[in-house]
């Protein structure tokens, strides 16, 4: 299919809420999904939302590689690529946890972002069939991150401490601000 250009922070398409998809089987939606899959693979990311490829529609996709799956969850093998159309999310409990996030639309930067530890999400898959899951840990984090794109929100807006925003390369060289860093 096609590798699409990724919108970067500052472009207005990333600031506006998306519109819902009326017909999942429409050729333009199926082409968008296919092109987003190719773009995500090329960019070597774990998630992508339609606004990131200049389309203001409620379409997102993500996966959890085994290396990012928690050992204490039933997802130790990861989560396969999931397309989620017209999603809804809700927290399961009050617990929030912080972790480092990056974004294909904010290349080179990472920030420490608090997110719900556990969520329930629902929507439609690429075939238009209903999907509903509970997620925790990194799975929950990536779903919330991509969902935020559909709402016109970028991860720095979720940060509570802007001193924990930096270039990934510098954070790797000087890890003292990163959780688990050795003194």
Q: Which residues are catalytic?
A: 146
CA distances from 41 to 1, 52, 112 (A): 12, 14, 25
CA distances from 52 to 36, 122, 139, 171 (A): 9, 21, 20, 25
Q: Whole-angstrom Cα distance, residue 176 to residue 180?
A: 9
Q: Is 43 exposed, middle or buried (0-12, 13-18, 19+ CB in 10 A)?
A: middle
Structure tokens at 94: 């009050």
Are the C-beta atoms of 18 and 56 separated by less than 8 Å?
yes
The neighbour count for residue 179, using CB atoms within 10 Å, is 10
């Amino acid at each position: 299919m096609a590798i699409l250009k990724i919108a970067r922070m500052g472009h207005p398409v990333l600031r506006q809420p998306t519109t819902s998809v009326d017909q999942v089987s429409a050729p333009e939606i199926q082409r968008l999904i296919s092109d987003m899959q190719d773009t995500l693979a090329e960019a070597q990311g774990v998630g992508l939302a339609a606004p990131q490829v200049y389309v203001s529609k409620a379409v997102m996709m993500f996966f959890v590689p085994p290396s990012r799956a928690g050992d204490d969850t039933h997802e130790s093998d990861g989560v396969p690529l999931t397309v989620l159309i017209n999603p809804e999310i809700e927290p399961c409990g009050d617990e929030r946890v912080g972790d480092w996030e990056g974004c294909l639309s904010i290349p080179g930067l990472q920030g420490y972002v608090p997110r719900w530890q556990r969520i329930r999400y629902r929507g439609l898959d690429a075939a238009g069939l209903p999907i509903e899951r509970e997620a925790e840990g990194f799975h929950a984090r990536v779903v919330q991150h991509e969902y935020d794109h559909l709402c016109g929100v970028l991860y720095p807006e979720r940060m509570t401490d802007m001193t924990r925003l930096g270039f990934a390369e510098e954070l790797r060289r000087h890890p003292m601000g990163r959780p688990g860093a050795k003194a």
